[in-house]
Each structure stands twice: as C-alpha cells, then as structure tokens.
Amino acid sequence: MASQTVLLCPPTYFEVRDRKNPYMRAPIDRAKAHEQWKAVCDVYQKAGLHVALIPAVKDLEDMVFAANQVFVGIDEKLGKFIVPSEMRYPSRQREVPYYVDWFADRGYKVIGLDLRGEFLEGHGDLLWHPGRKHVWAGYGFRSSIGGVKRFASAMKEFRVSVTPLRLTDEHFYHLDTCLSPLSADAAILYPGAFSAEALDCLRRDWPRLHELTRDQALKLTCNGVVAGNSYITSHVSDGFKRILESEGLCPVVVDISEFEKSGGGVFCMKNFI
C-alpha cells in the first residue's frame, strides 16, 4: 500500500536479550544503534517521506521493529484500520497495546481478531501486493497458519484476498526476510525460504520475480523499502543493483549492523501508515 508517512520507534531501550531468531547475538552498541537509526530517519526524509515517531517504552527491547505490532489497511467505507498482532514471544506481545493506542488515538479503526492459541505478526509476515487488494501471508515460524486463516476471513469483509505462504527455513522466519514486492509486477525473493506450493503460487502470480542467492538473502538484502524510486536497504551487491535498476529503482544503502544483530533489516524498522 503506497503511503507518504513512515512510522518509526527510537532504539532508546534496544537490546538483544534472547534468541527469537537465528541472527540474534548480544551485545549491541546502543550509541551506534542510535546513530544508525537516525541515518535511517534521514534517508526517509531525503526520499520525500514524512517520518512519524512512537515513543520507546522501557524494557521493550524490540519495540524499535515497528513492522510487527499491527497490520495497517484502508477500506473505502471503513477508512484506515489496523489489525493488532498476536506476537509469538511474550516480550514482544507487550509492545502491541502501545502501538494499538498510538493508531487508535489517530483515528484508525481497530479490528481485533480472536487469535487465542494462534499467532499473527503484522507486516513481518503480511505484505501488501502493491496496487492490489491482496496480501501475501507468511507462516510457520512466527505467524501460525491458524492466525493467517483468521486474518484472511476477517479481510473478506473488505474484499481483500490473502494467500498463505509456508516458510521452511528458520533463517527466513518472517516473510519480509525473503520476499520484497517492488511494484505490482515485480518482486524479489529467496526461493529456498518457501515450501514448493508457496513458490508455485508466487511464480504463477508475479510477472517478474527476481531471485536472490542464499548468501545475498542472509544479509537481509531483501528486507528493504521502496520509497519513490529508491530502494532503501543495508547491503547491495552488483547483481542486486542490476536487478533494482532493471525495475527503475535506485539502491540507497544504509548501515544498520546493530539491528541486524537482532535479525532486523530496514523493512522491519518501520510501518507505512
């Protein structure tokens, strides 16, 4: 979904305390993280986007990853809405109410789902297909198939279709680590992250799918953000640059090494609102 405002959360209390994904390793350098995060804000502003901030909360060490706590949508009748996540890890579940309140205070309708016993992790696993009323939904490591199914049935009311995609490699634990929609016709993906069936669905649907190698994908290369004609990401190889250029996009590289130590890339650190 195209939008002009990006929501970020400062890394005031950012830390690596546990191992929710295979990338996570302590310690992080918080002063350096803060510098890197500020550079991310600057890149968005230079790309012409407005940056909105949600205050960080003490003891919520992963709150900086603003993609996960709610799914954001818009419906002609209802207007802007959110679907609150049910995060798999209790430490991250505590972030959700702060984000829900932030959106509710700004007039977003809140569509609460009954997700008891299931998991749904916002835009970590739920990616809009640009220009369509369609969402690609990863599950297996963080969101559960039951969570995705409940989300899909709630979206029917808004005539939004949802395609579940089973993820099979724990290094690609969220869909945003292995699929990056660039436009209505093109996306980047790492094929090794998907079940055969999921890969079939993707290949049938996208006119152009650019494939990354495992080494490229492990750098969270495709956890990037399209902003105007820029693609903001943390690593760009020559091959990847050519892919972006063939799609009319210009790579903008920003160093976020401290956040990669938590398994997060550029995409994970924001939500489009």
For tokens 């099979």, the residue is: 168
Site string for ligand ARG, 125-164 (x = CB under 6 A): ----------------------------------------
> If binding is defined by CB under 6 A, does position 176 make contact with ligand ARG?
yes
Site size toward ligand ARG, by CB under 6 A: 16
Among 20, 129, 171, 210, binds ligand ARG (CB under 6 A): 20
Residues 33-52 that bind ligand ARG (CB under 6 A): none
* Beta carbon nearer to ligand ARG, 68 or 144: 68
The piece of 72-80, 160-168, 226-234, 262-270 that touches ligand ARG (CB under 6 A) is 262-270
> If binding is defined by CB under 6 A, does position 171 make contact with ligand ARG?
no
DSSP 8-state code for residue 132: S
Strand duo 250-253 + 230-233: pairing: parallel
Structural element, H or E, at residue 40: helix 30-46
At closest approach, how far in Å is the CB of 176 from ligand ARG?
Answer: 5
The whole-angstrom separation of Cα 102 and Cα 34 is 22
Please calculate the CA angle 76-163-94 and round it to the nearest 5 degrees. Answer: 75
266: amino acid identity, one letter: V
Among 124, 138, 181, 251, binds ligand ARG (CB under 6 A): 124
At closest approach, how far in Å is the CB of 223 from ligand ARG?
Answer: 7
> If binding is defined by CB under 6 A, does position 67 make contact with ligand ARG?
yes
The piece of 63-71, 153-161, 183-191, 193-201 that touches ligand ARG (CB under 6 A) is 63-71
* Beta carbon nearer to ligand ARG, 16 or 202: 16
Q: Which of 154, 127, 126, 157 is nearest to 142 (CA)?
A: 126
Contacts of 151 (CB under 8 A, 6+ apart): 71, 83, 113, 120, 126, 135, 137, 162
Whether 165 and 194 have beta carbons less than 8 Å apart is answered as yes
The piece of 47-55, 163-171, 201-209, 260-268 that touches ligand ARG (CB under 6 A) is 260-268
Q: Secondary structure of the chain: what % helix, strand, coil (to 5)?
A: 30, 25, 45
* Beta carbon nearer to ligand ARG, 164 or 264: 264
> If binding is defined by CB under 6 A, does position 92 make contact with ligand ARG?
yes
* Beta carbon nearer to ligand ARG, 98 or 204: 98
Q: Is 59 left (phi over 0), alpha (psi -120 to 50) or beta?
A: left
* Beta carbon nearer to ligand ARG, 150 or 174: 174
Contacts of 113 (CB under 8 A, 6+ apart): 83, 84, 86, 120, 150, 151, 154
Binding site for ligand ARG (CB under 6 A): 20-21, 24, 62, 65, 67-68, 92, 124, 174, 176-177, 262-264, 268
